[in-house]
């Protein structure tokens, strides 16, 4: 079984409605895997909305980007609920951390690639490349962390752009794109967000690799 203590240390906000929702899920005997699946559904919905928005006129595009930001928020809520539902001893599913890790990688890739295709629909030919580069880099951050765990080191969640920060940045990009019609913008805000995403995620990988290499050297006789 994967050590649950090695999962990302996420502190759930002190929110009454979130605690109530988690309690209802626990009373309904909802499994962590079910919450993970719901998070993937939100990610797929968000990715589809974002990618389609680029082909629409400004006002419908703005409305869709608001829905996309909400879908990204739904995914974030599911990530928080997953830990809260998994917490009770009788809810721990030995395979749940595996599904959660795979779902996170899939969700990251879908949402970031979707943002790239949205940019392409607005005339930015570099959009798909930015989206897929960001998606590959996002998966690589987790891969570097697992490299460390594979040789017995603690899980490294060094930033600046981990999963939570990437999704927050993408949600902000969606909200900024939604208000672009005010100044006749056409994807410039999301283009900047995605470029920063690539740079920031690359920086994150570099920091994690450096920390990993230092730790490995320190263990050498």
Q: Residue 148 has which token pair?
A: 């460390």
- Residue 115 confidence (pLDDT): 97
Q: Residue 23 has which token pair?
A: 């309690």
CATH code for residues 12-219: 1.20.120.1760
- Residue 30 confidence (pLDDT): 76
User: Cβ neighbours of residue 105 under 8 Å, at least 6 residues apart?
Assistant: 138, 139, 142
DSSP H or E segment with residue 213: helix 188-219
Question: DSSP labels for 130-156?
Answer: HHHHHHHHHHHHHHHHHHHHHTTPPP-
Check: CB of residue 203 under 8 Å from CB of residue 97: no
Check: CB of residue 64 under 8 Å from CB of residue 174: no
Closest CA to 186 of 118, 122, 129: 122
What gap in Å lies between CA 135 and CA 201, rounded to an integer? Answer: 10
- Cα dihedral 198→158→65→127 (10° resolution): 10
Mark the ranges of the chain whose per-residue pLDDT is less than 50.
1-6, 89-90
Over residues 72-122, the pLDDT tens digits come to 999 988 888 876 765 554 455 666 777 888 999 999 999 999 999 999 999
- Residue 110 confidence (pLDDT): 96
How does the average pLDDT of the chain come out, rounded? 87
């Amino acid at each position: 079984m994967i050590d649950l203590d090695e999962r990302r240390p996420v502190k759930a906000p002190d929110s009454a409605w979130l605690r109530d929702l988690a309690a209802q899920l626990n009373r309904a005997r909802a499994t962590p895997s079910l919450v993970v699946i719901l998070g993937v559904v939100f990610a797929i919905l968000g990715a589809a909305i974002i990618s389609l928005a680029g082909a629409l006129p400004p006002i419908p595009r703005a409305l869709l980007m608001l829905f996309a930001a909400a879908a990204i928020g739904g995914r974030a809520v599911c990530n928080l609920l997953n830990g809260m539902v998994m917490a009770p001893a009788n809810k721990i599913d030995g395979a749940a951390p595996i599904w959660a890790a795979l779902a996170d990688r899939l969700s990251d890739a879908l949402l970031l690639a979707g943002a790239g295709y949205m940019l392409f629909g607005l005339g930015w030919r570099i959009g798909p490349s930015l989206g897929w580069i960001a998606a590959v880099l996002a998966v690589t951050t987790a891969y570097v962390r697992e490299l460390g765990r594979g040789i017995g080191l603690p899980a490294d969640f060094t930033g600046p752009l981990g999963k939570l920060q990437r999704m927050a940045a993408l949600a902000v990009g969606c909200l900024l794109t939604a208000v672009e019609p005010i100044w006749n913008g056409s994807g410039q805000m999301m283009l900047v967000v995605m470029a920063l995403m690539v740079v920031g995620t690359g920086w994150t990988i570099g920091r994690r690799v450096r920390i990993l290499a230092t730790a490995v050297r320190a263990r050498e006789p």
